[in-house]
Amino acid sequence: MPVTPPIPASRPEGMHRWARWRAFRRDMFASQPQRLYRAKMAQMTTPFYRSFTVPDPTLARKILEDAEGFPKSDVLAATLGDLLGRSVFVTNGAEWARARAMIDPAFSGGRVREMLPQMVGAGQRMLAELHPGVIEVEAVTARATADVILRVLFSRPIDDAQAQEIFGVFQEYQRAQPLASLADLLRLPAWVPRRRRGRKEAYALRALVADLIAQRQGDEVDLLARLIDARDGDDGTGFSESELVDQAVMFLLAGHETSASALSWALYCLALSPEDQDRAAAEVAACAPTEFKQMPFLRDVWREVLRLYPPVPMLPRQAAQATTLRERAVSRGDPVIISPWHSGRHEREWDRPHEFDPSRWAQGATTQGWFPFSAGPRICPGAGFATAEGIILLAMILREWRLQVVPNDIPQPVAHLTVRSAAGIRIAFHRRATQH
C-alpha cells in the first residue's frame, strides 16, 4: 500500500519579505510557497533581490538545456569557491567545457563497472557497523559513501589515516554550512570583506588533498589516475596541479553528500513501506549486489526516492541576458532557480505526487518531471556511478536487515547543501531470519 513520507513545511502565503529572507538563509524549503507544486513559474522578492523559480518541468528542462543563456549562478562559485576553486561544478563557458570533456570519459559505463569492487568493499565495511536496534542512518550513509569515493578516487579506504583525516575535515566543513553570503547575493564588489563560513576547513581540506596527490607513486589505478592522464582534445594539455586539486575536492563533495542523502531517504521510505521493502528484499536475496539486471524493483525504489527526495533540490542559474520567461521580464543577472524537488512532485505531472509508490515506474510513469541529476549539458556525470553505488549499498543492507520506522520519530526534510533531515533519521534494524 503506497505511503506518504514526510514533506517539508512550505512558507505561509503573505510572509513578509524580511521573514522570507531569514527563512531562505535557514532552509531553502522554508522560503518556498506551497503553490510551487502547482505553478509553472513564481517570482520571489526579498529586500535584497528578486528571483524566479521554475517548477514547470517543460520550461525547467528548456532552461537547463540552454547552458549559455542560463549559466550557473556566480553565487555558487562565490559560496563554494574556497573549497572547489575553479572545478567543473562552478565554472561556465569554455573553461567548463574543456574540463568537462576531460572528465566525462572517466565515467563511461565500462569505467563505472571497474569501480564496482570498491563499492562492494565499502558496503562490507558499512555492514560491520550495523547492529540490532535503533541506528541514526545519516551518519552511517555519510561514512559509507565517503568510503566509496575515497577508495575510487584515491585508492584509500576510509580507515586509512589520511583518508580519515580528510573525512573528518570534510565533516567540519559541512557543519560550517556555507550557504550564500549576504555580500554575494547583494553582488557587492569583491574587495568588500565577507564572513566566509567554512573557509578554514576548505583550505585545510585542499591542503590534505594536495598532499595525497604529491605522495602518488604513479602506478595507482583509480579515478585520480584517470584525471592525471586526461588530455584536452584540442591542445593536448592536462590538468595543472591546482586544477587537479580543484577537481579532486569537487569529486569528494559531489560524490559523497548527494549519495548519502539519497541512501538515507531510501532507507526511511523502505522502513515506512514494509510491502515494498519485502519485495525488494526478496529480489536481492536471489542475486549478488552487483547483478543490477536481477533487481528491477530495487531500481524503481531508487528512482522513486530520487523523485521524492532529490538530493540537490534546487539548481541555481542566472539569466545571461535580459529575456522573458512566460511573458515576464527577466533582467540580466536575475537568479532563475530550477527545482527538481517541485518538478518531481508537480501536481500537473504526477498522479498522487507525494506518495512513495515505486511500482508507478513499471506502470510507465512519465519522466518529464524527473531530473534529480539535472538535464542538458551540465547533467551529473556521476549519475551511473551513483545509481550503481545506491543499489549495491541498499541491496547489501536489505539482504541482512529488516528496517522499521521508530514510532513518533518522523524526520523533517531541510534543504542545506543537500536534502537532509533536521535532526537525523533513526531506523530500527532487525536481523532477517535467513542470512545469505
Closest contact distance (angstroms) between CB of 244 and ligand HEM is: 14
The span of 25-33, 53-61, 252-260, 325-333 binding ligand HEM (CB under 6 A) equals: 252-260
Give burial (CB, 10 Å; 0-12/13-18/19+) of 366. Answer: exposed
| Position among 5, 57, 198, 255 found at the interface with ligand HEM (CB under 6 A) | 255
Q: Which stretch binds ligand HEM (CB under 6 A): 11-19, 286-294, 322-330, 378-386?
A: 378-386
251 touches ligand HEM by CB under 6 A: yes
335 near ligand HEM, judged by CB under 6 A: no
Residue 252, phi then psi, degrees to nearest 5: -60, -45
* Residue 385 binds to ligand HEM (criterion: CB under 6 A): yes
In this chain, which of 22, 100, 196, 416 binds ligand HEM, going by CB under 6 A? 100
24 binds ligand HEM (CB under 6 A): no
Q: Could you please report the per-residue DSSP string of 239-284?
A: --HHHHHHHHHHHHHHTTHHHHHHHHHHHHHHHH-HHHHHHHHHHH
Binding of ligand HEM by 344 (CB under 6 A): no
In the complex, the smallest distance separating the C-beta of residue 100 from ligand HEM, rounded to whole angstroms, is 5
Check the annotation: does 380 bind a ligand: yes
Cβ proximity to ligand HEM: between 24 and 373 the closer is: 373
Backbone angles phi, psi at 171, to 5 degrees: -65, -35
The residue range among 8-16, 251-259, 266-274, 342-350 that interacts with ligand HEM, by the rule CB under 6 A, is 251-259
Candidates 361, 370, 373, 429; binder of ligand HEM (CB under 6 A) is 373
**Surface-to-core class of residue 79, CB atoms within 10 Å of its CB (0-12 exposed, 13-18 middle, 19+ buried):** buried
- Judged by CB under 6 A, the number of residues near ligand HEM is 23
Min CB(349)–ligand HEM separation in Å: 18
* Long-range contacts of the stretch 411-415 (C-beta < 8 A, 24+): 411/6, 411/268, 412/6, 412/8, 413/6, 413/7, 413/8, 413/29, 413/265, 413/309, 414/8, 414/27, 414/29, 414/30, 415/8, 415/27, 415/28, 415/29, 415/313, 415/314, 415/341
State yes or no: residue 259 binds ligand HEM (CB under 6 A): yes
Q: Does residue 57 touch ligand HEM according to CB under 6 A?
A: no
Residue with cell 589520511: 162
Given the complex with ligand HEM, which of 258 and 273 has the nearer CB atom? 258
CA pair distance 270, 273, nearest whole angstrom:
5
89 binds ligand HEM (CB under 6 A): yes
- Of 30 and 252, CB closest to ligand HEM: 252
Report which DSSP code applies to 420: E
Is there binding between residue 53 and ligand HEM (CB under 6 A)? no
Q: Does 380 contact ligand HEM by CB under 6 A?
A: yes
315 touching ligand HEM, by CB under 6 A: yes
Contact between 312 and ligand HEM (CB under 6 A)?
Answer: yes
End-to-end CA distance of the chain: 27
Q: In this complex, which beta carbon is closest to ligand HEM, that of residue 81 or of residue 311?
A: 311
* Angle of CA points 363, 291, 371, to nearest 5°: 45
φ, ψ (nearest 5 deg) of residue 290: -105, 0
How many CB atoms are closer than 10 A to CB 342?
30
Alpha-carbon gap, residue 148 to 115, rounded angstroms: 9
d(CA 174, CA 312): 15
CB of 311 to ligand HEM, least distance (A): 4
Residues of this chain that bind ligand HEM (CB under 6 A): 72, 88-89, 100, 250-251, 254-255, 258-259, 262, 311-312, 315, 372-374, 378, 380-382, 385-386
